[in-house]
């Protein structure tokens, strides 16, 4: 039941760390908080959790798919009375080992054509999130 009108944000990074290390940062709540948002995440399909932004917004999420060190997918919904910001979307992280580390692909799908600001915000936001993620990964364990 895909809607051809919906737009997708894709951000990709080559990261010089193994997939296992990146996976920990994507799935451990205390590490997620350092680069993404406060959360009550658990890496279990069907687990409902919230992401709490510094701006006061709360995202309603549910783990949809998980394949350790390879794929993580969860809903990323933001209820808002303004249709331009009322978002029902899915975020998918895909990790692919490379000779020098890992290729990380982040895809957020579900933006309506009218949601230009939300779409632009997500594009910029994921770049910032991934920059923070790389800083978290660079810290000694």
pLDDT tens-place values along the chain, 141 residues long: 567 789 999 999 999 999 999 999 999 999 999 999 999 999 999 999 999 998 888 999 999 999 999 999 999 999 999 998 899 999 999 999 999 999 999 999 999 999 999 999 999 999 999 999 999 999 986
- Chain position carrying tokens 């919230």: 50
The per-residue pLDDT for range 85-104, each reduced to its tens digit, is: 899 999 999 999 999 999 99
Residue 16: strand, helix, or coil: coil
- How many angstroms separate the CA atoms of 74 and 61, rounded? 6
Cβ burial, residue 19 (10 Å; 0-12/13-18/19+) = buried
DSSP H/E element including 7: strand 7-15
Residue 29 CB neighbours (<10 A): 14
**Torsion angles phi and psi, residue 25, rounded to 5:** -70, -25
- How many angstroms separate the CA atoms of 104 and 119, rounded? 20
Going along 40-120, which residue ranges are E strands?
48-52, 58-67, 71-78, 87-98, 101-111
pTM (2 d.p.): 0.94
For residue 22, give both structure tokens.
């990146």
- How many angstroms separate the CA atoms of 134 and 74, rounded? 21
């Amino acid at each position: 039941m895909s809607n051809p009108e919906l737009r997708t944000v894709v951000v990709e990074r080559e990261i010089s760390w193994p997939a296992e290390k990146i996976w920990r940062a994507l799935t451990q709540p205390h590490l997620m908080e350092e680069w993404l948002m406060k959360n009550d995440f658990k890496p279990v399909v069907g687990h409902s959790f919230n992401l709490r932004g510094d701006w006061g917004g709360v995202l309603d999420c549910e783990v949809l798919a998980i394949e350790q060190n390879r794929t993580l997918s969860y809903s990323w919904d933001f209820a808002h009375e303004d249709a331009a910001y009322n978002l029902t979307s899915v975020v998918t992280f895909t990790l692919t080992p490379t000779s020098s580390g890992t290729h990380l692909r982040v895809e957020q799908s579900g933006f309506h054509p009218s949601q230009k600001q939300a779409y632009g915000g997500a594009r910029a936001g994921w770049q910032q999130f991934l920059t923070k993620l790389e800083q978290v990964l660079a810290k000694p364990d």
